[in-house]
């Protein structure tokens, strides 16, 4: 997909406390839709899905005192474009200590776009165990799906043009919380 130039104009969509409120809302929605997050595990997709999964677990713990197991799921080796690009370094896959068999697994990612990452995540998941069900939580849904995939929990829907790109920054990785829309006509 074409990337906007580095000096393209950009616009901040969410930052700081706004982003925290969005995470809080997703945490509440998870609690509501899963009757109190019992039998549930959160798996973040590296890089930025992992800190988001940890934040969701911390908020769920703060709201209802439920401890939700958290892990990470690297999808690099399952990507359908592995061969079209230079070799990528691997991220970390770390399952919660009890595994994921029989649990409701909620995949957590920063941006939902073509849906290909989620497909790769579903493929990776089937090699790791058999969850009772799989759901998807994303901070941003920017549209333009190429596969029949949808999110169960969406922080913010951002209508975009294909020429634009959405960049999510989180404090744990980038030093600040921010969602930025880059490129396009302004």
Partner 1 sequence: MIKHLRSAADLDAATATLILDTAAEMAALAGREVKKLPALRGRTVVNLFYEDSTRTRISFEAAAKRLSADVINFSAKGSSVSKGESLKDTALTLQAMGADAVVIRHSASGAPHRLAEWVDGSVVNAGDGTHEHPTQALLDAYTMRSRLGRLEGLRVAIVGDVLHSRVARSNVLLLSTLGAQVTLVGPPTLIPVDLPEKLQVSYDLDSVLPDSDVVMMLRVQTERMQDSYFPSAREYSRRYGLDVPRLTKLPEHAIVMHPGPMNRGMEIAPEVADSPRSTIVEQVANGVSVRMAVLYLLLGGK
59-80 exposure pattern, b = at least 16 Cβ within 10 A, e = fewer: bbeeeeeeebbbbbbbbeebbe
| Nearest residue (CB) to partner 1, 128 versus 173 | 128
Q: Does 122 interact with partner 1 (rule: CB under 8 A)? A: no
The answer to whether 131 and 104 are in contact (CB under 8 A) is yes
Single out the residue of 1, 6, 86, 185 in contact with partner 1 (rule: CB under 8 A).
86
x/- track of binding to partner 1 for residues 33-72 (CB under 8 A) = ----------------------------------------
Rounded to an integer, what distance in angstroms lies between the CA atom of residue 122 and that of residue 129? 11
Single out the residue of 1, 2, 17, 89 in contact with partner 1 (rule: CB under 8 A).
89
Angle between helices 16-33 and 49-64 (to 10 degrees): 60
Single out the residue of 5, 17, 65, 87 in contact with partner 1 (rule: CB under 8 A).
87
Q: Does 11 interact with partner 1 (rule: CB under 8 A)? A: no
Q: Does 92 interact with partner 1 (rule: CB under 8 A)? A: yes
Q: Does 74 interact with partner 1 (rule: CB under 8 A)? A: yes
Nearest to residue 182, comparing CAs of 171, 166, 168, 170? 166
Rounded to an integer, what distance in angstroms lies between the CA atom of residue 158 and that of residue 75? 24
51, 68, 76, 91, 170 from 17: Cα distances, Å: 16, 23, 31, 28, 12
Structure tokens at 29: 């929605």
- Which region, judged by CB under 8 A, interacts with partner 1, from 63-71, 80-88, 138-146, 168-176? 80-88
- Which region, judged by CB under 8 A, interacts with partner 1, from 31-39, 90-98, 104-112, 171-179? 90-98
Binding positions for partner 1, rule: CB under 8 A: 74, 77-78, 82-94, 123, 127-129
């Amino acid at each position: 997909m074409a990337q906007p130039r580095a000096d393209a104009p950009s616009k901040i969509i969410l930052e700081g406390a706004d982003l925290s409120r969005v995470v809080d809302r997703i945490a509440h929605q998870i609690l509501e839709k899963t009757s109190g997050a019992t039998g549930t595990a959160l798996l973040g997709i590296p890089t930025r899905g992992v800190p988001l999964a940890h934040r969701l677990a911390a908020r769920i713990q703060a709201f209802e005192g439920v401890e939700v197991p958290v892990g990470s799921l690297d999808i690099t080796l399952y990507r359908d474009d592995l061969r079209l690009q230079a070799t990528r370094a691997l991220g970390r896959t770390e399952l919660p200590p009890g595994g994921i068999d029989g649990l409701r697994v909620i995949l957590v990612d920063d941006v939902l776009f073509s849906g290909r990452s989620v497909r790769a995540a579903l493929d990776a998941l089937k090699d790791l165990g058999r969850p009772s069900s799989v759901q998807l939580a994303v901070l941003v849904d920017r549209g333009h799906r190429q596969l029949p995939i949808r999110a169960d929990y969406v922080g913010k829907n951002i209508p975009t043009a294909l020429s634009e790109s959405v960049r999510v920054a989180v404090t744990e990785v980038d030093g600040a919380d921010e969602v930025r829309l880059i490129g396009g006509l302004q």
